[in-house]
């Protein structure tokens, strides 16, 4: 069994061709700009949409574990995942991120769009969260997808041990791997990431299969917006052929609110794609393809 947050069909920004993207639960990082904070916990997470809520408090009354109190607060440690609150909410203000699925059922779901993958040279992308977090189940999913003949891409932070990389590598065709910062202290302080671990994985992939790697950098205000050239140079030094600069966006903001959490970038506007265009030429001059967006 594997904990899944979401399945998105007909995705076109998560690797080549038309794809199905599976968002797995669980992450070892905690990036404050995250567009999918509901995936951090492997366990199910309640999302409460205050704009729909009519304050009837039926959810509070029905909860057998007193996990819901008002003003609306949900205590994950008290919740037994019975979903009675979701069922009783007439306003559809409550939803959950997280459902357990059998690996075989998930692979079968992905294979429904086989014709589209074939025509577009697409496949499946396993994302998160950090897909390596539920490692044993993730590995089983990789094997099932490969056995079905799918092209398999993985969106990853690279923040896992090399032992896990070696086990998963034979079943992965494409790594969409983040390089968020090259300063170990800053990366650790802001995201919890371990740069030594990430760079060891980049180095291994560079040595054994550089063509499988696309380096991705989310460009974030006041965190790494001055580091794009450094990341492009780093990718070039490791013989990778492609870097994607992902402009900061605020599309995940409402999820932070629905989890009763403050969004760190509340006052920041979406980043203008045009502002990153000079890096395309910077890459071209150095013989590496730089793309704005995924």
Return the number of the residue (65 or 275) whose C-beta is nearest ligand SF4: 65
Residue 70 CA from chain centroid, whole number: 31
Least distance from C-beta 9 to ligand SF4, angstroms?
27
Return the number of the residue (82 or 147) whose C-beta is nearest ligand SF4: 82
Secondary structure of residue 159 in the 3-state scheme: coil
Whether 287 and 236 have beta carbons less than 8 Å apart is answered as: yes
Least distance from C-beta 236 to ligand SF4, angstroms?
49
Return the number of the residue (72 or 234) whose C-beta is nearest ligand SF4: 72
Q: Which residues bind ligand SF4 (CB under 6 A)?
A: 46, 48, 53-59, 62-65, 67-68, 74, 79-85, 88-89, 91, 93-94
Q: 103 Cβ partners below 8 Å, 6+ apart? A: 1, 2, 137, 140, 141, 144
Return the number of the residue (78 or 196) whose C-beta is nearest ligand SF4: 78
Least distance from C-beta 255 to ligand SF4, angstroms?
16
Return the number of the residue (77 or 226) whose C-beta is nearest ligand SF4: 77
Whether 165 and 60 have beta carbons less than 8 Å apart is answered as: no
Whether 54 and 107 have beta carbons less than 8 Å apart is answered as: no
d(CA 102, CA 81): 18
Least distance from C-beta 257 to ligand SF4, angstroms?
14
Least distance from C-beta 70 to ligand SF4, angstroms?
7
d(CA 33, CA 8): 21
């Amino acid at each position: 069994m594997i904990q899944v947050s979401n399945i998105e069909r007909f995705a076109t920004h998560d690797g080549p061709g038309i794809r199905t993207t599976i968002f797995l639960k669980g992450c070892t990082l905690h990036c404050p700009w995250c567009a999918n904070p509901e995936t951090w916990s492997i366990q199910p997470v309640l999302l409460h949409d205050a704009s729909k809520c009519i304050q009837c408090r039926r959810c509070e009354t029905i909860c057998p574990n007193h996990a819901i109190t008002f003003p609306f607060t949900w205590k994950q440690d008290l919740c037994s995942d019975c979903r009675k609150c979701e069922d009783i909410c007439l306003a559809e203000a409550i939803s959950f991120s997280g459902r357990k699925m059998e690996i075989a059922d998930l692979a079968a779901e992905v294979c429904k769009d086989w014709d589209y993958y074939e025509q577009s040279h697409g496949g499946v992308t396993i994302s998160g969260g950090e897909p390596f977090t539920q490692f044993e189940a993730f590995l089983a999913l990789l094997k099932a997808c490969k056995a079905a003949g799918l092209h398999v891409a993985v969106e990853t932070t690279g923040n896992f041990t090399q032992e896990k990389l070696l086990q998963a590598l034979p079943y992965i065709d494409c790594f969409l791997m983040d390089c968020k910062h090259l300063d170990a202290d800053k990366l650790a302080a802001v995201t919890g990431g371990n740069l030594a671990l990430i760079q060891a994985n980049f180095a291994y992939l560079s040595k054994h299969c550089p063509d499988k790697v696309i380096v991705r950098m989310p460009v974030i205000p006041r965190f790494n917006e001055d580091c794009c050239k450094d990341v492009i140079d780093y990718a070039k030094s490791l013989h990778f052929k492609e870097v994607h600069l992902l402009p900061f966006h605020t599309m995940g903001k409402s999820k932070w609110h629905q989890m009763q959490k403050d969004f760190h970038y509340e006052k920041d506007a979406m980043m203008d794609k045009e502002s990153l265009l000079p890096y395309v030429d910077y890459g071209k001059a150095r013989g590496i393809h730089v793309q704005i967006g995924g």
